[in-house]
Structure 1
Amino acid sequence: MCGIAGIFDTRGQQDYPRELMQRMNDIQSHRGPDESGYHFEPGVAFAHRRLSIIDLSTGQQPLFNEDGSVVVVFNGEIYNYQELIPELTALGHRFHTRSDTEVIVHAWESWGEACVQRFRGMFAFALWDRNRQTFFMARDRMGVKPMYYAILRDGTLVFGSELKVLMQHPDLDRTMDPLAVEEYFALGYVAEPRTIFKGARKLDPGFTLTIRRGEPIPQPKPYWDVRFTLDHNLNLADATAELKERLKESVRLRMIAEVPLGAFLSGGVDSSAVVATMAGLSDEPVNTCSIAFDDPAFNESEFAQMVADRYKTNHRVETVQSDDFDLIDTLAALYDEPYADSSAIPTYRVCQLARKHVTVALSGDGGDENMGGYRRYRFHMMEEKMRGGLPYGLRRPLFGFLGSVYPKADWAPRVFRAKTTFQALARDSVQAYFHSVSILRDDMRRQLFSQRFRQELGGYNALEVFRRHAANAQTDDPLALIQYLDIKTYLVGDINTKVDRASMAHSLEVREPLMDHPLVEWLASLPSSLKIKGQEGKYVFKKSMEPMLPRDVLYRPKMGFAVPLSRWFRGPLKERVREALLGETLRATGLFNEAYLRHLVDAHQSGARDYSSAIWTTLMFEAFLRNCQTTAQPAPLVRSA
């Protein structure tokens, strides 16, 4: 796991100053504290920060092919690199290291753009081929590793593992993108490929970008997508047996390391299954770590302990105080653009704990999206049955009216929130799912934004993110559709972003066995009836794990990695919330309706409404703005001749 950075002249061969590359590289030193490396030639400058995991002695980057004509910088892991080395050697390539990085340059030489089809892992890399005068960059299928880039006015392409890398370049356009602001307040993150700045983009998961110097710059193009065929008609016994074997293979590949290795153990099904599988593959006790909370409503450490005891792991637990809110400004600096998942706080803490004992940790991320684990999936399926009973032309006016007049009841269990249900029934499937996952729903965003900003949006709604992906889903199965939407949006923009930044802040590599793309493809071939059965999500997964995990772990209600926002905003953070939401930083943007911001604060702090999610989202936006002010635009640099 590393940090990469670089500059490429798409039009000519201008030189780039070393001090600029050093600044871009040093700003992400947390991603790779072990070593740094650089490569310069006319029109190309690459930089790398290394966290040594494999081939500790000879895996330095930038790394070259035999004659030095191809150079690569790479962040991530190619798990099947040992299988590819003999194949590439047979094609005439000579290897000088034992690293997975060297596989990339030789695979590019032999297979060109198609090399990414051969890689199994998490990766973001960029390479320059001098003989072909070609720049190539790629991102892994599931978006585990990030890749930011910008094409500047003079044709210079700048790239890096984090947005802060690009922000070191004095010519980056930092104008805030109003469409990104709309997406953020709807989803809690800025969805790929947009960033908060008009001048920068994220490379989509499963995409590559190939640029031949002197030619027009093309759009990135996809090399992979998950297809929910649902056509693999296995019986339950065969499906559970195959799932266990596939998980075992995925975990085995991710246990290859030359440094201390362990796992996160939350007490949930996914991380517990990963730990149980690791224990079966290891001769030594598995290193596991958990975060406990001093608030019982958020604490699931007892279930993690059950799994740790069963497999006799080296288990470490640290208790997080329920008032652990001092990380707000740290998170703003860490994520670079607005990011509103409050579980980033305990994720940061569990990564901090893990790094004291290991350099690589396996996680259970991706299980809910790929196997139908979220409670919202079951609610959506129930609503879909109701939507199927009435034509849209009748549903929309009837339930739209009921949703507008029915009182809001945030305090009630979801099943009794008729207003929310009526609003969902008045929408089509994609609209309804977007409505259910939005942090601030359409009506709230309309009230939150100023009239001037609404005009600037020009009618744009973050729903378009979901519409765009739904158009590519190639399935009309209700569960498969929303799984696809989550894989393309929430998993990438929220979960993977959260884990990458939190882990890299502590120079910890996190690997996700449940996002292994052959496993993802196989799960997408299973019928939805094996994923949700009645009110039980992840049905086939839980059945496969019954011999390996306690029933209390498998079948208890899902808790999640939450923090007590509602109490914070009425208690210890009461004044900070009022100062942030009603202060000069937000007012100066002209984006917000100040009367509605005051309503959010007053209604929440009086106990009349629970606006904790909306307040946290706005609080983190304010923290992002202040962080931008403190990381002012770098002074222009004079390029060397």
Structure 2
Amino acid sequence: MFVFCIYNLDKKQLFIARDHFGIKPFYYYADGNKIFSFGSEIKAILEDERYNKNINNNAIYHYLQYQYNPLTETFFKNIFKLSPGFTMIVNVIDNSFEIKKYFDFSFNPNVNTNINQTDKEIKTLIQDSVAHHAIADVPVGSFLSGGVDSSINATLLTNHLHKPIHSFTIGASDVNEFDGAQETVDKIKSIHHKQVINKDEYLNALPSVVYHFDEPVADPSAVLLYLMAGEARKYVTVVLSGEGADEFFGGYTIYHEYYDRMKLNLVPKIIRHNILRHLAFSNFNFFGKNYLQRYFTKLSDRYIGNARLYTMKDLEKVWQGGAVEEYFNIGELYEKAKDYSEPTQMQYIDIHTWLLGDILAKADKMTMAHSLELRVPFLDIRVSTYASGLPDKLKFSHNTTKYALRNAFRGIIPTQAINRRKLGFPTQLRDWLKNDMTNFEELLINNKFIEEYISKNEIEKLINIHKNGKGDSSRKLFALYMLALWHKAFFV
């Protein structure tokens, strides 16, 4: 992981580069072809007296679709992100700059690869990656959810250091992964820190979370990561985490959905197209309707990454922010991935959207807020390159995800961790808001800034639907709440 800048005294040039997948951030303030300042945080650029702070409506529009901003533009006009795998050369004489791509990730599956071969190779690669990521002259620990990725990290780190490590888990009292994590703790004998948080702690942390993000990211799990990082920093300076394993080894359940949907092909074609297609897009509501709609809808028309708030069609009905001048070109990504299988296309989309805009942004900013350095062994370029060659049969097989990765570590990490389905950082946001939405209502109702973008009727509708138990509006309400907090932090 890296972002670096080298000054060439002879050429009077700055050479800047960002790592392959965007583990570390880089922002710059530019107007036209002139760059004025740059940094790893937007807040640093806001201190530049030459910069006039204005809101970028394009970013807000996309945020309400993706739950983060996928554009290279930021929420602040004229402040941009350098994309992963790109370099920038700045002429310090006239402030002109040029951006070039040095790395472009692609999948190259080898159908002849077999599980006996991958068991040894994956194990060796990841052991070596963890060993390299453990190099430090300060204490190194590991986040531990109890799932396969974090259990691999914690186990291999312990084996490499030959001593007990500090491990960290967080959750609410009745929604957590404590038992799963404990299985690995018992095996590796780590010094374990279990953090139980409640609704008030969660909500009270939101303003700080927004401030450290610089831009709104409507991922409820970011709060847990922020709180856990604060606890971890009391004991270690570096922590290992499992980001990237799902995207590269095929870990999300939604990737496996393709094989479930293909079972519909067993239904006679005349019934599928004359009856089921009609039902899928009818006005009738029934169990399995979304499943049918996904079957009959082209992937590129329904999948923009692992998270979605509003579809573009639904957003247009409630959007009040004026004309959108820049659209994220997801079609370009699908064009590059057109020869992949559908699950691999989804992986490719996630690596270029969700992983970059949500997962890695959250991982870096929520930990660096506490001066905790998060390292990601699964995003080692050698590991990701190897994973890019895995065929689907070694990612989505035996009714599971990450098949090759899980199989490689059988007997090394607890069996329960090998077989456990992914949960991530579970939160109780939906139930918390249903029981008490006071904080959200106070900030969102009659909020003039939010109403510049989303109609007042839509805001009230979301609140009423959720309070009355007629639907789950928690993610959309959370996104609007984070947007309102961001405006309050940076513009009020």
Superposed, 1:233-632 pairs within 5 Å as 233-295=112-174, 298-323=175-200, 324-383=202-261, 399=277, 402-403=280-281, 405-407=283-285, 416-418=287-289, 420-434=290-304, 437-450=307-320, 453=321, 455-457=322-324, 464-473=328-337, 475-572=339-436, 574-586=437-449, 590-630=452-492
Return the TM-score normalized by structure 1.
Answer: 0.72
Q: Distance in 2 between matches of 1:349 and 1:340?
A: 16
Q: Distance in 1 between matches of 2:103 and 2:56?
A: 28
Q: Distance in 2 between matches of 1:144 and 1:468?
A: 22
Equivalent position amino acid for 2:181 in 1: A
Tell me: CA distance 1:540–1:607, structure 2 relative to 1, closer, same or farther (3 Å). same
Determine the structure 1 residue equivalent to 2:8.
129
When the two chains are superposed, the root-mean-square deviation of aligned CA atoms in Å is 2.6
Q: Distance in 2 between matches of 1:387 and 1:625?
A: 49
Deviation of the 1:387 alpha carbon: 8.8
Equivalent position amino acid for 2:239 in 1: A
Tell me: CA distance 1:144–1:266, structure 2 relative to 1, closer, same or farther (3 Å). same
Deviation of the 1:549 alpha carbon: 1.7
Question: Which segment is superposed worse, 438-447 or 123-132?
Answer: 438-447
**Cα shift readout 1:13-37 (whole Å, capped 9, x = no counterpart):** xxxxxxxxxxxxxxxxxxxxxxxxx
Deviation of the 1:560 alpha carbon: 2.0
Residue 204 (structure 1) aligned with residue 83 (structure 2): yes
**Cα shift readout 1:154-208 (whole Å, capped 9, x = no counterpart):** 9342101011111112332433222211210111111142211221110111111
Q: Distance in 2 between matches of 1:292 and 1:435?
A: 25
Q: Distance in 2 between matches of 1:288 and 1:158?
A: 39
Bigger relative contact order, structure 1 or 2 (CA pairs below 8 A, ≥6 apart) = 2
Q: Distance in 2 between matches of 1:144 and 1:624?
A: 23
* Runs of at least 5 residues in structure 1 that lack an aligned partner in the other structure: 1-121, 410-415, 631-641
**Cα shift readout 1:191-249 (whole Å, capped 9, x = no counterpart):** 14221122111011111111334579455221112221102622211111110000011
Larger Rg: 1
- Residue 468 of structure 1 aligns to a residue whose secondary structure is helix
Deviation of the 1:369 alpha carbon: 0.6
* Runs of at least 5 residues in structure 2 that lack an aligned partner in the other structure: none
Q: Distance in 1 between matches of 2:278 and 2:204?
A: 42
Q: Distance in 2 between matches of 1:228 and 1:509?
A: 29
Alpha-carbon contact 1:395-1:425 (below 8 Å) kept:
no
Alpha-carbon contact 1:447-1:593 (below 8 Å) kept:
no
Q: Distance in 2 between matches of 1:137 and 1:159?
A: 10
Alpha-carbon contact 2:27-2:39 (below 8 Å) kept:
yes
Q: Distance in 1 between matches of 2:406 and 2:449?
A: 46
Tell me: CA distance 1:505–1:586, structure 2 relative to 1, closer, same or farther (3 Å). same
Tell me: CA distance 1:520–1:189, structure 2 relative to 1, closer, same or farther (3 Å). same
- Residue 204 of structure 2 aligns to a residue whose secondary structure is coil
Identical-pair percentage: 28
Q: Distance in 2 between matches of 1:381 and 1:356?
A: 45
- Residue 262 of structure 1 aligns to a residue whose secondary structure is strand
Q: Distance in 2 between matches of 1:492 and 1:369?
A: 11
Equivalent position amino acid for 1:457 in 2: V
Aligned residues: 489
Return the TM-score normalized by structure 2.
Answer: 0.92
Equivalent position amino acid for 2:455 in 1: N
Equivalent position amino acid for 1:421 in 2: Y
- Residue 175 of structure 1 aligns to a residue whose secondary structure is coil
Tell me: CA distance 1:239–1:330, structure 2 relative to 1, closer, same or farther (3 Å). same
